[in-house]
Every structure is written in C-alpha cells, then in structure tokens.
C-alpha cells in the first residue's frame, strides 16, 4: 500500500510505523502515549496516526490541558487567600466582572495570562499589593 503526504508536495511516500512511544508536553507537564501506529512522511516528518492512536494521543493532550487548568485554579486560590483577598476583591483588582474569580476557581472560566502572571508576582512580592488600586 502506497500513501503520499498531503502536507508537502504530495509526492513523498509515507512510511509505516508501529508501536512507537510519544511524549506530549504542555506547560511543564508531560504524558507518555504508548503503542502508537500510523504513517510518517520522510520529507517533512508529518505524522498521520491511525484512528485509535490519534484518539489516544488527543485524549492524552486534553488530559494534560485539564491537569494544567486544575493546577492553575488551585494556585490562583492559594495566592488570593495568602493575600487576604475575597474573590470579589480579587476580581475588582483584575477586572472581568465581580464573579470572575469565583468562575476561575470553579474552573468555569480560564483567566487571561495577565491575571495569572499578576498573581504569580504578588505571590513572590505580596507587599506590592498595597501599590494597586
């Protein structure tokens, strides 16, 4: 069976691979997905997983994103409490509406990087909180 790459010019042949292991990384977290099979382009390295491998690879990536969000959520709550802020006061500081922090901490919304970064800075330098309105 001969297949051709749809990613480059279409003339490069794909070669079969079986039983490979991939490491997926996201935000400093990593997961290992085993027993992957599919086709790889020798010219551009594009990979086309078999359906089962593609589904497991995607699920693993999704799980990493969820783990990262869970971690961010707990970190945000820990820092807010450390700073002695209510959810409403924290939301007043960062915008996004008075329910914003409640929604972040329940995982119903993902804070902008600016919010996460500000709280990370305040975690290291809590004395700077008094500089903020």
| Interacting residues toward Zn ion by CB under 5 A | 5, 7-8, 12, 41, 43-44, 46
Q: How far is the CB of 49 from Zn ion (least distance, A)?
A: 15
DSSP state of 7: S
By beta-carbon proximity to Zn ion, the closer residue of 4 and 56 is 4
Strand arrangement, sheet containing 14-26: 14-26, 29-41, 47-49
By beta-carbon proximity to Zn ion, the closer residue of 5 and 90 is 5
Strand duo 47-49 + 29-41: pairing = antiparallel
By beta-carbon proximity to Zn ion, the closer residue of 5 and 33 is 5
Q: How far is the CB of 20 from Zn ion (least distance, A)?
A: 18
Q: How far is the CB of 45 from Zn ion (least distance, A)?
A: 7
Stated as kind and residue range, the H or E segment containing 76 is helix 51-82
3-state secondary structure of 114: helix
């Amino acid at each position: 069976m001969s297949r051709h790459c749809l990613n480059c010019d279409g003339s490069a042949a794909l070669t079969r691979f079986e039983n490979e292991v991939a490491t997926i990384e996201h935000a400093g977290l990593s997961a290992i997905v085993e027993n992957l099979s599919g086709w790889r382009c020798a010219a551009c390295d594009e990979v086309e997983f078999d359906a089962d491998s593609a589904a497991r690879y995607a699920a693993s990536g999704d799980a990493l994103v969820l783990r990262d969000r869970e971690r961010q959520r707990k970190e945000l709550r820990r820092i807010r409490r450390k700073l002695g802020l209510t959810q409403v006061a924290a939301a007043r500081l960062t915008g996004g509406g008075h329910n914003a922090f409640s929604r972040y901490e329940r995982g119903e919304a993902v804070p902008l990087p600016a919010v996460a970064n500000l709280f990370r800075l305040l975690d290291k330098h809590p004395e700077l909180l008094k500089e903020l309105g």
